[in-house]
Chain A
Amino acid sequence: MDVTVALTVNGVERTVTTDPQRPLLDVLREDLHLTGAKYACGEGRCGACAVLMDGRRVLSCVTPVSLADGKSITTIEGLAQGDRLHPVQEAFLEEGAMQCGYCTPGMILSAVALLQQTPNPTDEEIVAGMNGNICRCNGYVKIQNAVRRAAEKMRR
């Protein structure tokens, strides 16, 4: 039986009437046309679907949309302020920290969540904070550099 879920997505209030068990990822992509969050494993093991829910990283592919009721969601599309990129986005660009780019939105949002909790992470903390995200181009070295650079930018 469908339910109506009210959520704020990238600062905009939205309501969706749908099956409560549908993954938040599907609702974002199919109903709200925000395709920045990606499907890659469907079981919360790779981080490609990561979004922020009330500022915390959640894996939208294993989050039933009903759990997003009353919550505030940030997707990659909502991270920049107009034309001004978020420092983590800037850092990924400056380090060239993407190859195919499919994992990039999840990587960036995971880094944002990490840096909110740990503004001055050690390398070990970056690894621990990002380890749930897989990059099959294996661009991990440049992504680590980007997270380090983003931390510096955000401290300034």
Chain B
Amino acid sequence: MAEKLSSKNSRPQSPKLSAALEGEFALSRRTFVQALGAGLLITVTDSLSWGQRRGGGGGGGGGMPVVARLYLNADGTIAVAVMSGKVEEGQGARTQLSQAAAEELRVSFDRIRIVMADTDFVPDDGITAGSRTTPGNVPPMRQAAATARELLTRFAARQWQVDAGALEVREGAITNKATSQKFTYADLANSKEVAEAFQQPIRSDVALTSVDDWKVMGSSAVRANSRDLVTGAHHFPSDIRRPNMLYGCVLRPPSYGARLSSIDLSEAKAMKDVVVLREGDFVGFAAPTLFQATAALEAAARTASWQTASHPASSKNIHAYLKERAQMDRARPNTRGSLEKGLVEATKTLSATYTLAYIQHTPMEPRAAVAEWSDGKLTVWAGCDGPYRAKGDLMRLFNLPADRVRAIIPDMGGGFGGKHNPDAALEAARLAKAAGRPVSVRWTRAEEFTWAYFRPAAVIECQGGLGANGSLTAWDFTNINAGGAAIDTPYSIPNTRILSVGSSSPLAQGAYRCLAATGNNFARESFMDELAAAAGADPLAFRLAHLENQRIRTVLETAAKQFNWTERRKKVTPELGVGLACGTEKNSVVAACVEVAIDRSRGEIKVREVCEAFECGPIQNPANLTSQVQGCILMGLGGALSEEIQFENGRILNASFGGYRVPRFQDVPKIDVHLVNKTDIPSAGGGETPIIALAPAVGNAVFAATGVRLRSLPMRGEALRLT
């Protein structure tokens, strides 16, 4: 099953599908009016066919017409509806993209309505992942809005026969100050010429508002639908209810790779109102209540016999297992200078091996979807990261053309990289088809812990050489299985060899908040600390002596200053340690200083304080960025100290919040966040990188207090217990 699940991540695009996706953005004007109110006169079906349909990924959406992103409303209640293929899952994209459109359209934030992640309305902006919304999707949204503003201004200028430069655009209206003539955006929504103008492509070279002039961007605009979140009015994917809907569940194997030999479905089929579907190994149940569906599932599961697979790997031997299977024949290290020469030149060499456990994202809302078939068209409301990926998977599964599948991603309850696949949508769609009624499928927590994918476990091997003057001469770094994110060292070392090599993962693994960067930064920053200790140097001074990257230096020095590093470092005791770490990933930089309290009689590590500085270019929403940084710090605390998937014989042994310990209120240290606003570069995303400095800073603080180096994530306090 592991291989089967993994294979979902590779996504071959058949020529047939590519052809089918061409021109799929074929909407009727009626659909728009129903959803967005009367507005801009466009015949969308005629116009929305363009070569480069994809809008995200940093390409700027070249070739996409303005009308694909913007819809002027005639009624004036909202000025403009804008469309994005991105998904909101708590990271703040809805608010941020709305701010971007408002800024360039010169309207207030609350007069923008954004339509997100509905394949009947939005362009394909790619999957929501990799901190790509800020660098890859905010700019195209701004370009679309700025192009529209220019087109509208030019239209007004022609109407009034004045120079466009003489016109003022503010609060959704274009004014000729000399004559007091005025067009609101709502006035222009009924113009045929504007409709034609909006067929023009979005200009990727249009002038955007400079950071210094930002009014809406850069402000802490309130999360767009927060009132609905505090009243319970928002409908998450698992809250969607359709007329006549059933609740479904799916039979899971008892262990990975087990195949269904036989099952007796008669008892389940005899249950009142229960729909039973078996297609090969897929066995699902739907009923008017989840309780009934689950009763049917349990009755059937008792009769199932399985052919199980053998599972040599477990959480106890996983690191040896991965190392034995490292694909060294495919190894392609990045080298600089000569590692051998650097090691020969060293007066002192060190080596160490770090390891990471598999961990789970465990978003609060498990995978969930509702599927409905109506007049041969399939609509799903699903909690996953890629609306078009969901649509494509559904088209393939049911052999449907593009205009027969609609995927909608309501703002969902968290993801953290764990919801790339639309599993629940496929299951709900199969059951809904069999039942002839809409079906809601929501995974249990145990299913989420078992049948989602994991952040990879890893073995990371480090070797370093120190010269007579205490500077680094050699650096050798190999990550087995977790990947190459943030694997390059930012430190100036003349001779390096850096390698990311795959292995054979016994568990399905995939994306996670910052993925491999957390492990690579943990190993690098811990090992830098080991080398600093070997050189007899202060960890801060040792890093700065090897660090040219000015952005990292700035956050490192900021965190150290705010934490009062130098003084507090002098006051370290066996019970109270301080540590620091820094790093860079996804074009942003972070540094953290932490204080830990250690109780060696009880074997406990308590993080008491975290001071973190973070910089990702110009800050687009300070309140949201603060939330992201605080969230990363605390999520990182879980991976640092307690989170670990335990498995054996193809089963997850701790598939619950009882056995898998995530951070809670009692774990929250004093947190001090310093956002550095660097305005002379483009903004980068901020939802991931702040996680990477926490674990090594904690490990370094433990070492400072105890002299014990913890090299495995999670770092267990028991390892420090004095017997």
Residues on A close to B: CB < 8 A?
18-19, 21-23, 26, 29-31, 33-43, 45-46, 48, 75-77, 79-80, 85, 89, 92-93, 96, 98-105, 108, 126-128, 130-131, 133-144
Contact = CB atoms under 8 A, between A and B. Distances in A.
Nearest to B412: A100
Nearest to B227: A93
B323 to A, nearest CB: 31
Contacts of A36: 231-233
Contacts of B223: 96, 98
9 contacts: A23-B291, A77-B232, A98-B223, A100-B89, A101-B226, A105-B230, A136-B662, A138-B630, A140-B630
Contacts of B291: 18-19, 21-23, 26
Contact of B230 (A75, A92, A102, A127): A92
Nearest to A102: B413
Contacts of A105: 230, 232
Interface residues of B, number: 59
Nearest to A124: B666
B231 A80 contact: yes
B665 A131 contact: yes
Contact of A134 (B220, B416, B657): B657
Which of B226, B231, B238, B365 has the most CB atoms of chain A within a 10 A radius of its CB? B231
Contacts of B227: 93
B442 A39 contact: yes
Contact of B238 (A38, A138, A144): A38
A33 B658 CA distance: 29
Contact of B666 (A96, A127, A135): A127
Nearest to B414: A100
A42 B449 CA distance: 13
Nearest to B295: A19
Contacts of A30: 247, 289-290
A140 B669 CA distance: 10
Given A35-B236, A38-B413, A100-B411, 17 more contacts: A26-B291, A30-B290, A36-B233, A39-B238, A42-B444, A46-B364, A96-B226, A98-B223, A99-B91, A99-B631, A101-B234, A105-B230, A127-B665, A134-B664, A138-B634, A140-B664, A141-B668
Given A98-B229, A99-B90, A38 B365 contact: yes
B301 interface: no
A22 B200 CA distance: 57
A101 B233 CA distance: 11
A102 B631 contact: no
Given A26-B291, A108-B230, A134 B364 contact: yes
Interface string B624-668: 100100111111001000000000000000001110001111101
Interface of B: 89-92, 220, 222-223, 226-227, 229-236, 238-239, 241, 247, 289-291, 361-366, 411-414, 416, 442, 444-446, 623-624, 627, 630-635, 638, 656-658, 662-666, 668, 671
A38 B413 CA distance: 10
A92 B232 CA distance: 13
A38 B364 contact: yes
A26 B290 contact: yes
B671 A43 contact: no
Contact of B665 (A22, A31, A39, A140): A140
Contacts of B623: 96
A114 B60 CA distance: 49
Which of B89, B92, B241, B664 has the most CB atoms of chain A within a 10 A radius of its CB? B664
Contacts of A103: 364, 413
A40 to B, nearest CB: 5
A102 to B, nearest CB: 3
B231 A76 contact: yes
A69 B361 CA distance: 37
A79 B231 CA distance: 8
Contacts of A31: 289
B445 A41 contact: yes
Given A22-B291, A104-B229, A40 B627 contact: no
A137 B413 CA distance: 9
A127 to B, nearest CB: 5
A152 to B, nearest CB: 17
B656 A41 contact: yes
Nearest to B443: A39
A140 B634 contact: yes
A138 B631 contact: yes
A76 B232 contact: yes
Contacts of A138: 630-635, 638, 663
B657 A45 contact: yes
B364 A102 contact: yes
A38 B383 CA distance: 14
A41 B657 CA distance: 7
B442 to A, nearest CB: 7
Contact of B658 (A45, A80, A98): A45
A45 B365 contact: no
A148 B238 CA distance: 31
Nearest to A75: B232
B366 A40 contact: yes
A137 B229 contact: no
Contacts of B633: 138
Contacts of B634: 138, 140-141
A131 B230 contact: no
A33 B241 contact: yes
Contacts of A85: 230-231
A18 B229 CA distance: 30
B48 to A, nearest CB: 31
A46 B445 CA distance: 11
Nearest to A141: B630
Given A41-B445, A100-B413, A139-B627, A35 B230 contact: no
A156 to B, nearest CB: 20
Contacts of B234: 101
Given A77-B231, A140-B634, A99 B239 contact: no
A144 B366 contact: no
A81 B657 CA distance: 34
Nearest to A80: B231
Contacts of B638: 138
B239 A35 contact: yes
A105 B232 CA distance: 6
Contacts of A93: 222, 226-227, 230
A59 to B, nearest CB: 12
A136 B638 CA distance: 10
A49 B668 CA distance: 22
A81 B92 CA distance: 28
Contacts of B361: 136
Nearest to A109: B232
Contacts of B412: 100, 102
Nearest to A106: B364
A89 to B, nearest CB: 4
